[in-house]
Amino acid sequence: KMERLLLLISLLLHVLLLSSAVSHNVPALYIFGDSIFDAGNNHFNQNCSAQADFPPYGSTFFHRPTGRFTNGRTVADFIWHYNIAAQFLGIPLQKPFLEAQIEVARGSWKNYPSNGLNFASAGSGVLRGTNQDLEVIPLQDQLQQFKTLVTQSRIDIKLAQESLFFLESGSNDIFNYFLPFDTPKLAPDAYVQAMLVEAVLFVDQIYKLGARLIAIFSLGPVGCVPARTLLPDAPVDRCFGKMNRMVKSYNKGLETLALDIPKKYPGAVGVYGSVYNIVQLFRAMPKRYGFSNVSGACCGDGPLRGQVQCGKEGYKVCQNPNQYLFWDYFHPSEHTYKLISKALWGGGHSRIQPMNLKTLASMGIPRV
């Protein structure tokens, strides 16, 4: 009898803890940005030439290509797991918007998923013209896709108010600034300011559409990606300082934007994730974080494996991708994404401020 009683108490505690965890967390996640977050939108965009829907992308976790530009899951995937303990509950990850749109049009689904959507498009930027020739979906169009769903009542405004919104964009804009065949019309500072204008407009519009819990993530050290070897002026033996200076300037603007959200937008909360600082820590102490290589890509070819896209003709792939900071010439490995997501979910002020994502997800809608 005592054993049965103890078992019953244990089960009741488990149920209470689980229901408490779920009730205090956000019901949905809406994701905007570039390849750092793209979960397959580009795959469903037939005209787009920026793709990762072929092997060996996805090989470590999904064991198939999903359109994610890494060997497994992204930061957004991990954060969703932390938010609702999805690995236990079996709640699915956010679908790419274009995939969901096709399913709804076909009648396979009656409504769009209630756990959020992923609008991110690899290769896109905060500037509309970035990689336009690749037919990517710029941030402005991602916003319009979300706006259409809200105005058509496909996304309930109350759901939006309770949900988390993620933004990460700008890496492609800054990398493209240094391309030899596309001479920039603006000085570096003016270019960064033009990017920040678009980021401010995005936050302004997403707030009007119901967003109240907004997480803005800094760019990582773009000047350290293996693809810098494609640029004539970039060094191979160290990071590209000129590029990282622009990145840091842009990140500073994003930090101000995020931390000013409660002052500018009543009832909203903003957090700023210092991805740049987190990644630089991995580079400074690789062994501590399980890395054997923090400079070259696991998959690709050429110097630092930075001149051939993973999966394209002539590529090579390492045996242990999660010992590499970079999976391919632009993008982190799943191991890197997992470490970044842990720092953003539960980290202190040097990682994310004024609070971490765990705190943001548990606080609910702020009262004005």
Point out the catalytic residue in the list 59, 81, 328, 335: 328
Which of 35, 124, 163, 295 is catalytic? The answer is 35
Our answer to whether residue 349 is catalytic in this structure is no
Neighbours of 159 (CB within 10 A): 17
Contact 316, 304 (CB under 8 A): no
SS3 90: coil
Asked about 35 being catalytic, the answer comes back as yes
Identify the DSSP state of 52: -
For residue 164, give the nearest of 111, 217, 128 by alpha carbon.
217
CB atoms within 10 A of CB 316: 13
331 is known as an active-site residue? yes
Side chain identity at residue 76, one-letter code: A
Whether 58 contacts 68, CB under 8 Å: yes
Burial of 24 (0-12, 13-18, 19+ CB in 10 A): exposed
List the one residue out of 298, 192, 287 whose CA is nearest residue 249: 192
Whole-angstrom distance, CA of residue 10 vs CA of residue 14: 6
Active-site residue among 218, 331, 333, 335?
331
Q: How far apart are CA 114 and CA 354, in angstroms?
A: 28
- Please report where in the chains the tokens 């076909």 appear, as a residue: 106
Please give the Cα distance from 88 to 336 (Å, whole number).
Answer: 23
Contacts of 310 (CB under 8 A, 6+ apart): 52, 56, 57, 297, 298, 299, 300, 317, 327, 328, 329
Using DSSP bridges, classify how beta strands 316-317 and 299-300 pair: parallel, antiparallel or unpaired.
antiparallel
Residue 99 Cα distances to 54, 105, 109, 154, 159, angstroms: 17, 10, 11, 15, 21
Distances from the Cα of 180 to the Cαs of 1, 47, 51, 175, 233, in angstroms?
78, 25, 23, 11, 9
DSSP 8-state secondary structure symbol assigned to residue 304: G
Tokens of 73: 């899951």
> Which residue is associated with the tokens 């319009």?
144
Q: Which residues are designated catalytic?
A: 35, 328, 331
